[in-house]
């Protein structure tokens, strides 16, 4: 194992985390826009503990480094109505590109699209990502994965006409960069680190306040996943990088029954008795491997319910691999 490659990435993650902590007085850790509710059917069934398991259509969204482990094209769609207030539509895909890095080498690529809200206020996110195995970028660590995702962020507001001529209207345009890393400790155990919104900026244009810019809070996720036989377990620790953000713990479990039924459970809460922000998720996936359907190799359906003290939120989804 290289003695220089891994420390470089660890130093990068820790330096960015330290920078966020240094700015905690100036910046709130609570996102005013583009709040991360977690999206994707299987990830939410596992409570959101997915950074070490995301070698599928959700990789760009959850950990772009694991695009390097996607060997066949796959795409998914998820719908949710968060707290019965905000509808979210999420499309995601991962497509390995063969031959770009040499014979027998796949370049892991992916994309996703999120549309949330209504005419009064709508957010749109487009993400593009790439993932590499260590040797593909001249790091002699076969079990290492590194990746990055660029996000384009758009909003529009005040288009519902219910506020009359005095309503506030406007839009915004921004960008953000996520970095991810994963390491295969064994064939069954993966550890991961994701730093989301490391570099970002959003420029707003409002009929009330004019033009101004603001950033998104950074987030660090440290995860581990175990996939053994018919059982999957996942864990995450999300340290609070700002004064108003608490450390958070997330756990998930999945079992495979009769090879096609996959019940899922998840649990998440802040490590604080004063503001636990706790939720529990329960879901069921149905995996079908059709025969005689041409290029389609798998179809997955699923449903997840998130239980929170504010309200419970349903999520339904469909995944197709070819």
Confidence bin at 274 (pLDDT 50/70/90): confident
Q: For residue range 206-215, list pLDDT tens digits in order.
A: 877 788 888 8
Q: What is the pLDDT of residue 163?
A: 58
Nearest to 96 by CA among 44, 42, 147: 147
pLDDT of residue 21: 44
Confidence tier at 102 by pLDDT (50, 70, 90): low
* Most confident by average pLDDT, 21-25, 87-91, 307-311: 87-91
Report which DSSP code applies to 202: E
Residue 268, pLDDT > 90, answer yes
Average pLDDT, the chain: 87
Phi-psi category of 83—alpha, beta or left, where left has phi over 0 and alpha has psi -120 to 50? Answer: left
For the cut 60, the answer to whether the pLDDT of residue 272 exceeds it is: yes
Query: In sequence order, which ranges of the chain are alpha helices (DSSP H)?
Result: 5-22, 41-45, 59-62
7 pLDDT more than 70:
no
Largest distance between two CA atoms of the chain: 64
* 166-191 residue pLDDT tens: 677 888 999 999 999 999 999 999 99
Evaluate whether 79 touches 118 at the Cβ level (below 8 Å): no
Rounded to a whole number of angstroms, the CA Rg of the chain reads 20
Planar angle of CA 162, 166, 167, nearest 5 degrees: 50
Q: What is the pTM of this model?
A: 0.86
At residue 134 the predicted structure's pLDDT band, cuts being 50, 70 and 90, is very high
Give the pLDDT confidence score for residue 120 in this predicted structure. Answer: 81
Domains of the chain, by residue range, sit at 5-321
* Domain 5-321, CATH: 2.40.160.60
The Cα–Cα gap between 49 and 55 comes to 13
Please write the tens of the pLDDT for every residue from 47-67.
999 999 999 999 999 999 999
Considering the chain, what percentage of its residues have pLDDT values greater than 70? 87
């Amino acid at each position: 194992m290289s003695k220089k490659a891994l420390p470089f990435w660890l130093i990068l993650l820790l330096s960015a985390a330290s920078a966020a902590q240094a700015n905690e007085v100036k910046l709130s850790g609570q996102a005013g826009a583009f709040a991360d509710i977690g999206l994707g059917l299987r990830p939410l069934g596992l409570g959101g503990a997915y950074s070490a398991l995301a070698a599928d259509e959700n990789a760009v969204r959850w950990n772009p480094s694991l695009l390097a482990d996607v060997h066949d094209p796959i795409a998914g769609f998820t719908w949710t109505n968060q707290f019965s207030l905000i509808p979210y539509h999420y499309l995601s895909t991962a497509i390995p590109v063969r031959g770009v890095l040499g014979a027998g080498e796949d370049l892991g690529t992916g994309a996703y699209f999120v549309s949330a809200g209504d005419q009064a206020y709508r957010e749109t996110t487009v993400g593009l990502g790439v993932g590499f195995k260590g040797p593909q970028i001249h790091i002699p660590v076969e079990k290492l994965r590194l990746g990055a995702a660029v996000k384009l962020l758009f909003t529009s507001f005040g288009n519902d006409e219910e506020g009359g001529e005095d309503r506030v209207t406007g839009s915004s345009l921004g960008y953000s960069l996520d970095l991810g890393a994963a390491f295969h400790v064994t064939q069954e155990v993966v550890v991961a680190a994701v730093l989301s919104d490391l570099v970002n900026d959003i420029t707003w244009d409002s009929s009330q306040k004019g033009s101004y810019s603001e950033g998104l809070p950074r987030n660090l996720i440290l995860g581990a996943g175990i996939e053994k036989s018919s059982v999957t377990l996942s864990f995450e620790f999300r340290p609070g990088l700002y004064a108003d953000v608490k450390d958070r713990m997330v756990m998930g479990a999945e079992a495979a029954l009769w090879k096609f039924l996959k019940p899922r459970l998840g649990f998440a809460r802040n490590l604080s008795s004063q503001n636990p922000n706790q939720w529990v998720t329960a879901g069921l996936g149905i995996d079908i491997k059709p025969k005689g359907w041409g290029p389609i190799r798998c179809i997955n359906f699923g449903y997840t319910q998130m239980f929170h003290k504010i309200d419970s939120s349903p999520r339904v989804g469909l995944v197709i691999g070819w």
